[in-house]
Amino acid sequence: MGSKRRTEPSRETLAARTQVERWRRTRTKPGRMPEELWELAVGLARVHGVNPIARALGLDYYSLKNRLDAAGESSGSSPAFVELGVASAGSSTECVLEFEERRGSKLTVRLRGSVDVAAILESFWRRRRR
């Protein structure tokens, strides 16, 4: 089993945690967290992922995930860049697809023969967003 890598929270995450903790200390009655704090959490989750932000801010994972999804964002990782190699006319028909998450997880797919890469990618991303 590999060890899990823990990273220090970003400066923005620490500032958000301070705001959430201040709200919790100063509220006079039970109630929902203010919408501006949720918006801040959703913005951070969009960049750093749902689980790290939910943990750092002491929020319910599923509440944050649902808000991120409702904002039209996928809570999974989406690539900032996808590189598709194009084989030259004289080379073999092999295709290598590499997907890498922001946090470093990587998936490499090697394909041989005639393959509709666009259809594979479309199917993969459609399934991830369900």
Express each pLDDT in 50-99 by its tens digit: 999 999 999 999 999 999 888 875 545 455 555 555 555 555 677 777 77
Structure tokens at 9: 């929270």
Mean pLDDT of the chain: 77
Rg over alpha carbons for the chain, rounded to the nearest Å, is: 20
Q: Where are the beta strands (DSSP E) in 58-116?
A: 94-100, 106-112
**Greater model confidence, 74 or 110:** 110
**Greater model confidence, 67 or 8:** 67
pLDDT reported for residue 124? 67
* Residue 22 confidence class, pLDDT cut points 50, 70, 90: very high
Dist CA 53 CA 50 (whole Å): 5
Q: At 123, which helix (H) or strand (E)? A: helix 117-128
pLDDT at 15 > cutoff 90: yes
Dist CA 95 CA 84 (whole Å): 8
Query: What percent of the chain has a predicted confidence (pLDDT) above 70?
Result: 67
Query: What residue segments make up the domains of the chain, in order of their start?
Result: 11-70, 77-130
